[in-house]
């Protein structure tokens, strides 16, 4: 859900006191529609304005406009400004920013030029509100497409694209308004709030329950006071993660741990096993940018490391990558709904630990007895692990948000990292699995019809999933055998895509819009290979989000 204004790693570096003193809360924009006002420049003209809900928008149109326009949906942004760390940003975005290759507000200039050189126009907005804004963003996008078509009457094709929160917006846009767009490029999308919210909530609640019960998490005060409470929680979560990192080798639990947590420690359960258990219950990957879980340092630790230590450290690194998003998102939704939206009174966490996890991570979880002991502390009857009761009105508002159907109605290319900590691979896996069912049904119906007509024309596939994959191994260790931190490993991290990968995805969507179908030729698959670190694979099997457990 990344935007350029979010510096997630900075939470551990900034004084909480300073944050509280400089907190600024910005209300959503609310203004009448304006524009588009165009500067008339050549070879590229720029038009600006606002939609009827007050969302600032921008249009970039080349003189060689060929009738195809892309509409970009940007990632998650909070509604609270924390100077130096996080800011409310309603700037109009027309293209993604790309990590490490010249980010600029509004989109990467190289990508913008890449498209305008082809005669393709770009449009996008800052949306009327930030935070979880899927429903609001769809309304804005529908209106913006209409504004553009009215201004540029030679428009023929509209290509929707976005990543993270914007990926979820793009998927929802394509599901609800397939007649308005010709194709879609969906990159590491959020799931529906029910699934995404549960992922965030479980992760935060489990960390609080075992490692620091003083964390508030829910029931924040209204307005800036509640935001200050949330910032206090960020400091506590950060301290917990620091203590867990320090205790990986010894197994020591944070001093702030609950009675149940300390009892587990006394019973011989190391904190790294509890950390790994939290990851498995929430559904976060046990492979990360620094830890492949496959190789260990030379010497006696080479065997034990991948089994007992690497999964915990990878979980810790991935939690660090999602913590800010999850807490800011949870707080923002509580403010939006006017009450506690999360409720885990009936959650059976023991059922969220799959049989596969019990087997694959048995050593990391310290064996069957430790697994049983840890899950026992999460029993709803344990007074030391109080469950959260949601407010009926807030829960109803949460349930009323748009839920992705997973239906593919226009040619769609998706791209996601195998180990994205913010949007797990299971989000795209679910859509892919549902599409395979639909495609099989279409193929069967087509074959039956052909038995009568005598002519069979194979149906064309409307979904192409491109996975950003990791190398075979990537962990590194220094001479002392300590792990070396690695940033940007392909297939890991959040929105960790290269310029070449961004270009591949949007070019694929544009080709699909013009041709009416996705490219599957050898030449196209060769382009996927040349973009490096990518593969098209319909045989993947990543677990769906825990929300869909039956």
- Is 148 a residue whose pLDDT tops 60? yes
Backbone angles phi, psi at 56, to 5 degrees: -70, 135
- Is 29 a residue whose pLDDT tops 70? no
| Tokens, residue 324 | 């800010």
Q: Which residue has the tokens 């030449």?
A: 523
32 vs 54: CA distance, rounded Å = 6
Provide the pLDDT confidence category of residue 104 given band limits of 50, 70 and 90.
low
Say whether pTM exceeds 0.75.
Answer: yes
| Tokens, residue 355 | 């049989």
**Average pLDDT estimate for 311-320:** 98
Q: Is residue 85 within 8 Å of residue 22, measured between CB atoms? A: no
In this prediction, residue 8 carries a pLDDT of: 40
- Is 459 a residue whose pLDDT tops 60? yes
Backbone angles phi, psi at 533, to 5 degrees: 75, 15
Bigger pLDDT: 92 vs 22: 92
Provide the pLDDT confidence category of residue 22 given band limits of 50, 70 and 90.
very low
286 vs 314: CA distance, rounded Å = 5
Backbone angles phi, psi at 414, to 5 degrees: -120, 145
Give the range among 53-67, 247-261, 293-307, 522-536 with minimum mean pLDDT.
Answer: 293-307
- Is 550 a residue whose pLDDT tops 80? no
Distances 174 to 410, 413, 472 between C-alpha atoms, Å: 7, 12, 35
* Sequence spans of domains, the chain: 8-191+406-469+495-548, 195-398
| Tokens, residue 439 | 């495609």
179 vs 199: CA distance, rounded Å = 32
- Which residue in 431, 321, 413 sits closest to 99, CA to CA? 321
**Average pLDDT estimate for 389-415:** 97
In this prediction, residue 173 carries a pLDDT of: 98
Continuous segment of H or E residues that includes residue 145: helix 134-151
**Average pLDDT estimate for 393-400:** 97
Using a 10 angstrom Cβ sphere, with 0-12 exposed, 13-18 middle and 19 or more buried, the burial of residue 179 is: exposed
**Average pLDDT estimate for 81-110:** 75
My answer on whether omega of the bond before 43 falls inside 30° of 0, hence cis, is yes
- Is 241 a residue whose pLDDT tops 90? yes
259 vs 255: CA distance, rounded Å = 11
What is the Cα 452 distance to its own chain's centre?
A: 46
In this prediction, residue 538 carries a pLDDT of: 86
Task: Give tens-digit pLDDT for 325-355.
Answer: 999 999 999 999 999 999 999 999 999 999 9
In this prediction, residue 25 carries a pLDDT of: 40
Average pLDDT, the chain: 91
Q: In this prediction, what percent of the chain has a pLDDT beyond 90?
A: 81
In this prediction, residue 86 carries a pLDDT of: 63
Tell me the angle at which helices 109-116 and 499-515 cross, rounded to the nearest 10 degrees.
30
Distances 77 to 193, 365, 409 between C-alpha atoms, Å: 15, 35, 28
Give the range among 164-168, 283-287, 300-304, 415-419 with minimum mean pLDDT.
Answer: 300-304
- The dotted CATH code for 8-191+406-469+495-548 is 3.40.50.1820
In this prediction, residue 388 carries a pLDDT of: 98
Using a 10 angstrom Cβ sphere, with 0-12 exposed, 13-18 middle and 19 or more buried, the burial of residue 366 is: buried
406 vs 427: CA distance, rounded Å = 9
Bigger pLDDT: 185 vs 91: 185
What letter does residue 500 receive in the DSSP assignment? Answer: H
| Tokens, residue 377 | 């502390």
Bigger pLDDT: 5 vs 301: 301
In this prediction, residue 502 carries a pLDDT of: 97
DSSP letters along 15-56, please? -HHHHHHT-EE-PPP----EEEEE---SSEEEEEEE-TT--E
In this prediction, residue 303 carries a pLDDT of: 79
Could you give the dihedral angle defined by the CA atoms of residues 8, 9, 13 and 16, in that order, rounded to the nearest 10 degrees? 20
- The SS3 call for residue 186 is strand
What letter does residue 482 receive in the DSSP assignment? Answer: P
Provide the pLDDT confidence category of residue 265 given band limits of 50, 70 and 90.
very high
Number of alpha carbons in the 13 Å side-chain half-sphere of residue 361: 30
- Is 210 a residue whose pLDDT tops 70? yes
The full 3-state SS of 321-341, as one line of letters, equals HHHHHHHHHHHHHHHHHCCCC
- Specify which of 12-26, 271-285, 443-457 reaches the highest per-range mean pLDDT: 271-285
Distances 362 to 308, 359, 370 between C-alpha atoms, Å: 9, 5, 9
- Is 517 a residue whose pLDDT tops 60? yes
């Amino acid at each position: 859900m990344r935007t350029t204004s979010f510096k997630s790693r900075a939470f551990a570096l900034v004084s909480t006191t300073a944050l509280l003193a400089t907190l600024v809360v910005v209300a959503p924009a609310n203004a009448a529609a304006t524009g588009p006002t165009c500067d008339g420049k050549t070879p590229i003209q720029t038009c600006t304005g606002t939609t009827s809900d007050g969302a600032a928008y921008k249009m970039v149109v080349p003189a060689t406009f060929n009738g195809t326009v892309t509409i970009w949906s940007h990632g998650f942004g909070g509604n609270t400004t924390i100077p130096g760390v996080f800011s409310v940003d309603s700037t109009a975005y027309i293209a993604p920013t790309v990590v490490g290759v010249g980010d600029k507000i509004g989109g990467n200039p190289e990508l913008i030029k890449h498209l305008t050189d082809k005669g393709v126009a770009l449009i996008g907005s800052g949306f009327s509100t930030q935070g979880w804004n899927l429903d609001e963003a769809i309304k804005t996008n529908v209106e913006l497409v209409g504004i553009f078509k009215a201004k540029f009457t030679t428009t023929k094709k509209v290509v929707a694209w976005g990543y993270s929160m914007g990926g979820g917006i793009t998927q929802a846009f394509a599901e609800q308004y397939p007649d308005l767009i010709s194709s879609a490029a969906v990159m590491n999308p959020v799931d529906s709030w029910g699934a995404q919210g549960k992922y965030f909530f479980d992760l935060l609640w489990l960390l609080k329950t075992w490692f620091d019960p003083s964390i508030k998490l829910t029931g924040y005060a209204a307005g800036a006071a509640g935001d200050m409470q949330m910032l206090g929680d960020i400091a506590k979560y950060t301290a917990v993660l620091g203590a867990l990192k320090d205790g990986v080798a010894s197994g020591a639990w944070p001093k702030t741990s609950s009675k149940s947590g300390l009892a587990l420690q006394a019973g011989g359960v190391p904190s790294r096993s509890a950390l790994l258990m939290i990851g498995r219950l929430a559904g976060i990957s046990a492979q990360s940018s620094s830890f492949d879980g496959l190789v260990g340092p030379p010497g006696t630790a080479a065997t034990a490391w991948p089994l007992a230590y690497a999964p915990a450290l990878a979980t810790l690194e991935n939690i660090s990558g999602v913590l800010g998003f999850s807490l800011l998102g949870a707080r923002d939704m509580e403010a939006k709904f006017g009450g506690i939206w999360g409720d885990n009174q009936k959650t059976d966490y023991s059922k969220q630990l799959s049989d596969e996890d019990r087997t694959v991570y048995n050593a990391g979880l310290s064996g069957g007895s430790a697994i049983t002991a840890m899950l026992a502390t999460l029993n709803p009857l344990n007074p030391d692990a109080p469950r959260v009761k949601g407010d009926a009105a807030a829960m109803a508002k949460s349930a009323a948000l748009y839920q992705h159907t997973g239906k593919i109605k226009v040619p769609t290319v998706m791209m996601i990292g195998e180990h994205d900590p913010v949007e797990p691979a299971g989000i795209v896996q679910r859509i892919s699995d549902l599409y395979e069912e639909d495609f099989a049904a279409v193929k069967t119906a087509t074959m039956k019809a052909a038995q009568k007509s005598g002519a069979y024309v194979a149906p064309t596939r409307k979904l192409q999933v491109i996975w950003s994959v990791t190398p075979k191994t990537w962990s590194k260790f220094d001479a002392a055998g300590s792990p070396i931190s690695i940033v940007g490993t392909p297939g890991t991290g959040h929105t960790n895509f290269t310029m070449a990968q961004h270009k591949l995805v949007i070019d694929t969507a544009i080709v699909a819009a013009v041709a009416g179908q996705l490219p599957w030729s050898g030449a196209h698959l060769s382009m996927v290979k040349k973009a490096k670190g990518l593969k098209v694979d319909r045989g993947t099997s990543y677990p769906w989000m825990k929300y869909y457990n039956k």
